């Protein structure tokens, strides 16, 4: 079996998804050096971090974090790009696992009942074959042992008439791009909203707005990456 594995490795060399170097035996997806060098934010330990501040006075999230800064070396970008455009599901699992390990140590992220990935537009999901946020959520779920709430938050279905609407009406619609299904399931629960990157915060605002309709809900946010400091 070991010989067979070595032979497979020889014929199909496995490379690090972040730097492209050959993986050693026992290494998976990302090499040990990259795991050590990827720039962690540590934001989960700092309730007043810059990402949390983005939502002050706008959305009462319990906590907001990103696991990594977009790195100068481009390794974090490379991992996300592979996940989104090159069918590298394992990158998403790895990134989710890294988030999960950090959150296990973070006081603000304890007692989470469900993980909710930001839903992808169904058309995009069909092309990609999966929702990248869901894959990241799977990685987190495995480490934290918390279930994913499937199909609770969904993208609103638009009709063809949408294109005829005025700019202002369209903006209204952008703000309401998400809908809730089974809101009873989330009543008085602590949920972890998961997305790949946090840039303007518009998507999370919109998802938060939909989720806030649930009585007694507590929403924490975890993302893979944000702009550097």
User: Which residues of the chain form contacts with Zn ion (CB under 5 A)?
Assistant: 16, 18-19, 31, 34
Whichever of 19 and 205 has its CB closer to Zn ion, that residue is 19
Written as six digits, the tokens of 177 are: 């791009």
Q: Is 58 helix (H, G, I), strand (E, B) or coil?
A: coil
CB 99 within 8 A of CB 93: no
- Cβ nearer to Zn ion, comparing 19 with 148: 19
> CA–CA separation, 94 vs 80, rounded Å?
11
Nearest residue to 150 via CA among 165, 133, 164: 133
Minimum gap (Å) between residue 20 Cβ and Zn ion: 7
Q: How far is the CB of 75 from Zn ion (least distance, A)?
A: 7
CA 178/CA 196 separation, integer angstroms: 17
In the complex, the smallest distance separating the C-beta of residue 11 from Zn ion, rounded to whole angstroms, is: 21
Q: Which residues pair with 70 in a beta bridge?
A: none
Closest separation between CB of residue 42 and Zn ion, Å? 21
* Residue 71 or 141 having the CB closest to Zn ion: 71
Which residue lies nearer to Zn ion by CB, 27 or 108?
27
Distance CA 224, CA 96 (A): 8
CA-nearest of 133, 164, 163 to 149 is 133
- How far apart (Å, rounded) are the C-alpha atoms in residues 190 and 135? 20
- Return d(Cα 187, Cα 80) in angstroms, integer: 33
Identity of the residue, 12 or 36, whose beta carbon is nearer to Zn ion in the bound complex: 36
Report the nearest approach of Zn ion to the CB of residue 228 (Å). 19
Angle, helices 89-104 vs 132-144, to 10°: value is 40
Task: Give me the least distance between CB of 30 and Zn ion, in Å please.
Answer: 6
For Zn ion, which is the closer residue by CB, 31 or 221?
31
């Amino acid at each position: 079996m070991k010989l067979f594995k070595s032979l497979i490795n020889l014929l199909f060399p496995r490379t690090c998804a972040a730097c492209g170097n050959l993986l050693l035996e026992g290494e998976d997806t990302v090499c040990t050096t990259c795991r050590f060098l990827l720039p962690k934010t540590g934001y989960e330990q700092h309730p007043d971090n810059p990402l949390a501040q983005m939502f002050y006075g706008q959305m009462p999230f319990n906590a907001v974090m990103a696991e990594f800064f977009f790195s100068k070396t481009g390794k974090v970008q490379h991992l996300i790009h592979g996940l989104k455009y090159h069918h590298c599901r394992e990158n998403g699992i790895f990134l989710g696992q890294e988030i999960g390990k950090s959150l296990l140590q973070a006081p603000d992220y304890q007692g989470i009942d469900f993980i909710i990935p930001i839903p992808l537009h169904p058309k995009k999901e069909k092309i990609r074959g999966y929702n990248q946020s869901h894959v990241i959520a799977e990685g987190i779920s495995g480490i934290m042992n918390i279930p994913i709430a499937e199909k609770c938050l969904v993208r609103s279905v638009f009709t063809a008439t949408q294109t005829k609407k005025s700019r202002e009406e369209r903006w209204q619609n952008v703000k309401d791009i998400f809908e809730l299904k089974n809101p009873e399931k989330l009543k008085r629960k602590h949920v972890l909203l998961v997305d790949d990157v946090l840039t303007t915060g518009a998507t999370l605002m919109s998802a938060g707005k939909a989720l806030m309709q649930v009585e007694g809900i507590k929403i924490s946010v975890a993302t893979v990456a944000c702009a550097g400091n």
